[in-house]
Structure 1
Amino acid sequence: LMFHISSGSYRVLDIDYAYQSITLHDPHMSTCETIVLGGKGNGFEAEDWRAPYFNPTSDNVFMLIGCSPKSPIFQGFPEKKLPCHNISGMSCEEYMSCPAWDTVGYRQPSLSSGSGPAMCCAVGFESVKAINLSKLECEGYSSAYNLAPLKLRGPSDWAYGIRVKYELQGSDAFCRACVATSGTCGYESVDSGGLRHVCICDHHNSTTNCDSVDRPTGASSTIP
């Protein structure tokens, strides 16, 4: 299952209906085993109409790698008060202890590639609103999230991916009616550029429930 937004295409790793979230995989995202540079990563940037109800969760950390001193990330902040910080118990200090950093020539204890800004800057999505490597002038990025109530032992135990929270107004009542008729709650795009609820049934989709003969047409369905 693939998910497509303005910043790129992502493989869906997991759908958590209880917490209304999905986990996405970007093949050009760095992990603890692989560092990907060259600005190849998709990052994460949703369309304006999608952004109000589809954003990375607060426990998701984006670690921006090799950003230019002129990057918007570092503009408007005193040198000792950069926006880089620990997110949900995960930090660049820990991330740069990963063995993959040996392959690119950077290791702890120094996070800086010289006199410029830190080689790695950990930020939450709310502080930047969009992870666009070209606009942020960064060479790469990693994304991880932490669902455990306890602090993980290290970056090798982190869950890598982009965990995104979705929200559709009025979805609870619609989904209950859909599931009660053996359907799967989802949504579909419409010609006007927005979304509407859809009940995904065995042999058809419906805008009400699987007992209805109503079948939406001309749009592609997605399980949230």
Structure 2
Amino acid sequence: MSLKRSSSSFFIFLFSFFFLSSHVSSQACQKTCGQIPIKYPLGTGSGCGDPRFTRYITCDPDQQTLTLTTHTGSYPITSVDYAKQEIYVTDPSMSTCACTRPSHGFGLDWDAPFSFHDDTVFTLLDCSVDESPVFTPLSNGSGRVSLCDRQSSSICTFLYSNCRAISLINLQVSTCCVYVPLDLGPSFEMDLNKLKCSSYSGFYNLGPGQESHPENWNYGIALKYKFNVFDEYPGVCGSCERSNGACGFNTQSSSFVCNCPGGINTTSDCFFLYNSASILVPWFSSKHHSHTSTISSQIINLY
């Protein structure tokens, strides 16, 4: 081997060593947050997931808790169903069958990439029959009529009679109002101060035969999301995740990047990774085998 070739090989080795050493770090976009798997469009921090979701969903690195934040507060995310594109959150101030507490309500930002799931039902608790706008005075002044969902009035009966936490307060069923998300209006706002109600309860997926058992209801709020206007999962993201990468974006241009183990970003996928010996090797896949074998042999031949 000539001195010139030997020097070139040594230079390439040093370059590879220092370049790769600078990238030896944990993957910037994490695959989990606590017990919840993280997949597109969600992310664990800036530059991870879909940029439309970043300002609303975050992962606390210390507590490892996934949180949804809106203009009304921050709410823990209990689970995510990626197949159905559903997110389930809970409000610590929400009243349940086990505990009744005062609350400020819940609302979604008008430009958020979420909407209420059809199965989500809100029940306003302890509303003022005389002052709450959900009870409208009759034109003849003979009383007030409820603007609530009358077909679901049985939900109030079950809550007020079968829940010990509510029955102990001796609230009247007439002060309860079933308030479905469509009634929240275009701003998706539930302001309990304006509604003159002391608290609310949210639940979803009651399930057959569970309507009369509020102690078994799924308390929380179910949301749904879309990937984009056409609700199409981006193919480039699928390739990235199959190669053990995490879908993200360039924080300056918002263009797609694939975040690979070691903190390296690419514009496609992570099928090519650096091993601990600082030699470029493929992320093995039958689809890329012939191409990566050629590249690997070319790099090894440099030394």
TM-score, scaled relative to structure 1: 0.71
Please say if 1:10 is aligned against 2:68: no
Q: CA deviation at 1:72?
A: 3.1
Q: Which residue is equivalent to 2:109?
A: 47
Q: Which residue is equivalent to 1:93?
A: 157
Counterpart residue identity of residue 176, structure 2: C
Aligned-partner SS, 1:93? helix
Distance 1:180 1:137, change over 3 A: same
Deviations 1:72-100 (A, max 9, x none): 3234888455223456x971111112111
Distance in 1 between residues matched to 2:190 and 2:181, nearest whole Å: 8
Within the candidate set 35, 59, 64, 2:119 is matched to: 59
Distance in 1 between residues matched to 2:106 and 2:85, nearest whole Å: 18
Counterpart residue identity of residue 117, structure 2: T
Distance in 2 between residues matched to 1:142 and 1:178, nearest whole Å: 40
Distance 1:147 1:34, change over 3 A: closer
Distance in 2 between residues matched to 1:160 and 1:98, nearest whole Å: 13
Counterpart residue identity of residue 180, structure 1: R
Q: CA deviation at 1:146?
A: 1.0
Distance 1:146 1:211, change over 3 A: same
Distance in 2 between residues matched to 1:48 and 1:185, nearest whole Å: 25
Please say if 1:123 is aligned against 2:179: yes
Within the candidate set 142, 160, 176, 2:201 is matched to: 142
Distance 1:66 1:49, change over 3 A: same
Distance 1:2 1:173, change over 3 A: same
Counterpart residue identity of residue 172, structure 1: Y
Structure 1 contact 171–197 (Cα < 8 Å) conserved: no
Deviations 1:29-58 (A, max 9, x none): 000011113xx34x32122211xx312211
Counterpart residue identity of residue 122, structure 1: V
Structure 1 contact 77–83 (Cα < 8 Å) conserved: no
Q: Which residue is equivalent to 1:176?
A: 238
Distance 1:142 1:172, change over 3 A: same
Please identify which structure carries the higher helix content. Answer: 2
Q: Runs ≥4 in structure 1, deviation > 6 angstroms?
A: 195-198
Counterpart residue identity of residue 95, structure 2: S
Distance 1:94 1:49, change over 3 A: same
Deviations 1:156-183 (A, max 9, x none): 1101011111223154124433332224
Counterpart residue identity of residue 18, structure 1: A
Unaligned runs of 5+ in 2: 1-65, 273-303
Q: Which residue is equivalent to 1:72?
A: 133
Distance 1:187 1:166, change over 3 A: farther
Distance in 1 between residues matched to 2:107 and 2:252, nearest whole Å: 21
Aligned-partner SS, 2:168? helix
Unaligned runs of 5+ in 1: 112-117, 214-224
Distance in 1 between residues matched to 2:258 and 2:248, nearest whole Å: 6
Structure 2 contact 124–201 (Cα < 8 Å) conserved: yes
How many residue pairs were aligned? 194
Aligned-partner SS, 1:64? strand
Instruction: Trace 1:74-223 onto structure 2 (pairs within 5 A).
Output: 74-75=135-136, 79-80=144-145, 82-86=147-151, 91-96=155-160, 97-106=162-171, 110-111=172-173, 118-128=174-184, 129-146=188-205, 148=207, 150-152=208-210, 153-169=212-228, 170-174=231-235, 175-184=237-246, 201-204=260-263, 209-211=268-270
Deviates more, 1:171-180 or 1:12-21: 171-180
The percent of aligned pairs where both chains have the same amino acid is: 31
